[in-house]
Structure 1
Amino acid sequence: MGYKLSRRQFGQLVLAGTVVSGFSYLTNKALAQTPNLNIVGIGSTSIPTDPTAIPEVKTTESYSTHQSSVTTDIPPVGLELVLRSFTTGSTQVIADNGTPLLEPNEILSGFTSLRDGTLVVAITPLITSRRKATPNRLTFLGASSAKTLIVSGLNENQQLGSLLGTNDGRLIGLVGSKNGVPPITLVDINLKTGAISPLSQITIPKDKRVSNLAECPDGKFYTSLLGFHGETSLVQLGSNQEKPIVLAQLKVDGQEWNNGLQNLVCSGTGQLLAFGAMRYQTPNAVYSIDKKSGNMTRLENFDVTQIALVPG
């Protein structure tokens, strides 16, 4: 039986400052043998309180070696929840006046689902010159409630992102500097306390710009490596100090992918899916990946910030 979020359950997950979209995509030939593939997307939306307010600007990855200071607060975030079915084409919009999930000057740095379908959001404060940054934290969105844990073990220049709920029920993620400069560390996250600890069972390249984590049903882990000009390679991670294997450089219609990925996820049949957009292009879209060639096939546009698979 497929995992489905009812209108009432989605209403319980609504928190101001969040756009959450979900769809069950069954029509593409590449995924025809993958029933109950449920993808949930999350992103922030900004609704200024006055016409002179500056809208939220989507940031891009940078190789800057220093942390920029944000001098303008992100405007108040609007409230919208969208449940979208890519099978029927129907869309439901639900509004609520709950407590904001995002404070001003914060970003969504990670998103995943746990084995029981709970959605997990990593929230990272930006460095500002106007006020003290709020703590890095995790918000767990369950079927009937939400809870938040403060992440411990990070310094003020680090962020936790690229969350992954593993096949065996753990929560892991990547920790690195807020400007993305290596090294990147793989960590285990305590689901009760939010404390992080290094995870050495999987080898992460220390000198590469690593982002995104995916685990397939066979237990193999994958990530993406970002080059200086945005070129992105698919990598199978090694275990017990085995060297990671670079599988292929990602490309679409023969053109080199040039903007990193927002997410990398793996379906129940072992199909890797990428989420993102080429540089200077919108919106983001879901792509299937050929692991051998690196060819990406666009499945559907999905105008959110990050995605996760929920169990079927």
Structure 2
Amino acid sequence: MSYKLSRRKFGQLVLAGSVVSGLSYVTNKALGQTPSLNIVGIGSSSIITTDQKVIPEGNTTEFNSTASKSVPRDIKPLGLVLQSLMTGKAQVLVDKSTPLVEPNEILSGFTSLSDGTLVVAITPLSISRREATPTRITFLGTPVKTLIVSGLKENQQLGSLLGTNDGRLIALVGNKNGTPPIRLVDINLQTGEISSISKVKFPNDERVSNLAECPDGKLYTSLLGFDGDTTLVQLDSNQKKPIRLAQLKFDGKAWNNGLQSLVCSATGQLLAFGAMRYESPNAVYSVDKNSGNMTRLQDFDTAQITLVRG
């Protein structure tokens, strides 16, 4: 089940399929020079196939317009796309027997376990009992391994996955429209069964997303207000409510659009991922836990990120 992704190995991966990989290396080159940071992004994309086979890997410059017109193509929404922030390279993962992501599904969570295994949560958008596929977690290995998640109610969604320092997989569970009530759960890595693990009571007037754990074991998440204002909070099992640390802000302005991801480096530095409302692309930001000030480090055009360990 392990999908251990070393920095060198990801540097050898190339783009396949219709994925944007034009990363902008315009700020803070030190980000790519830090050995403790190996940031991987994920998104979903159509896979370009020929005779039901994935197009062989090659440099993105080789996929020019002349070549693409001369090859019959069958585009289907089958792939999960992994991209490396450090190298700008990407890889499309395909499960030939069962589509990894179908058109009516979303990637609701993405994380790396302590052994380097990448895990994604896939959630159907419909709340009908006639859903084609249930909520599941997929381990991105060779072959891909999938577990059906049990313990969710019909209107609930699993998201904000986090591989903890001690090897567990935890997540946030809330309504499928992203609204409270929210609870923190543990996911059994063998069965996919969820169980509540915390008595922290989240606010009912704010959305909760993005779990992160620092090396000291402290858990962090973000609260999203009605107007998009985003507050960094710490989760303490000894406290009944989240500990509010600071409202996030960038360039002197309140951050107004929630976050796509929140991760913590081996040095204890919190990194936020997202974009201000009506702006693109997403970018990686360092976060000051005390003030909430965010410093833009690097653009990264993907959906969610995680830090790969090892």
| Displacement after TM superposition at 1:175 (Å) | 0.3
Determine if the alignment matches structure 1 residue 260 to structure 2 residue 258: yes
Write out aligned runs for 1:40-59 (5 A): 40-46=40-46
Letter in 2 for 1:232: T
Write out aligned runs for 1:226-245 (5 A): 226-245=224-243
2:200 match: 203
**Equivalent position to 1:274, from 272, 279, 282:** 272
Write out aligned runs for 1:144-293 (5 A): 144-200=142-198, 203-207=200-204, 208-293=206-291
| Displacement after TM superposition at 1:243 (Å) | 3.6
| Percent of aligned pairs sharing the same letter | 69
Determine if the alignment matches structure 1 residue 3 to structure 2 residue 6: yes
Where does structure 2 lack aligned partners over 5 or more consecutive residues? 50-74
| Displacement after TM superposition at 1:102 (Å) | 0.3
| Displacement after TM superposition at 1:132 (Å) | 2.8
Where does structure 1 lack aligned partners over 5 or more consecutive residues? 50-74
Q: Deviations over 1:243-301 (max 9, x none)?
A: 42211111110111111001110000000000011111111111000111111111111
8 Å CA contact retained: 1:186, 1:204? no
* C-alpha distance in 1 between matches for 2:128 and 2:240: 43
What TM-score do you get using the length of structure 2 for normalisation? 0.78
* C-alpha distance in 1 between matches for 2:47 and 2:12: 25
* C-alpha distance in 2 between matches for 1:228 and 1:218: 32
Q: Deviations over 1:97-153 (max 9, x none)?
A: 6433101200000000000000000000011789634100000013x4320000001
SS at match of 1:239: coil
8 Å CA contact retained: 1:40, 1:308? yes
The change in CA–CA distance for 1:91 and 1:191 in structure 2 (over 3 A counts) is same
What TM-score do you get using the length of structure 1 for normalisation? 0.77
* C-alpha distance in 2 between matches for 1:48 and 1:97: 11
Letter in 1 for 2:306: A
Write out aligned runs for 1:93-112 (5 A): 98-99=95-96, 100-112=99-111
Letter in 1 for 2:136: R
The change in CA–CA distance for 1:33 and 1:85 in structure 2 (over 3 A counts) is closer
Letter in 1 for 2:9: S
| Displacement after TM superposition at 1:203 (Å) | 2.2
* C-alpha distance in 1 between matches for 2:140 and 2:80: 16
8 Å CA contact retained: 2:283, 2:299? yes
8 Å CA contact retained: 1:189, 1:195? yes
2:118 match: 119
Write out aligned runs for 1:11-22 (5 A): none
* C-alpha distance in 1 between matches for 2:239 and 2:85: 42
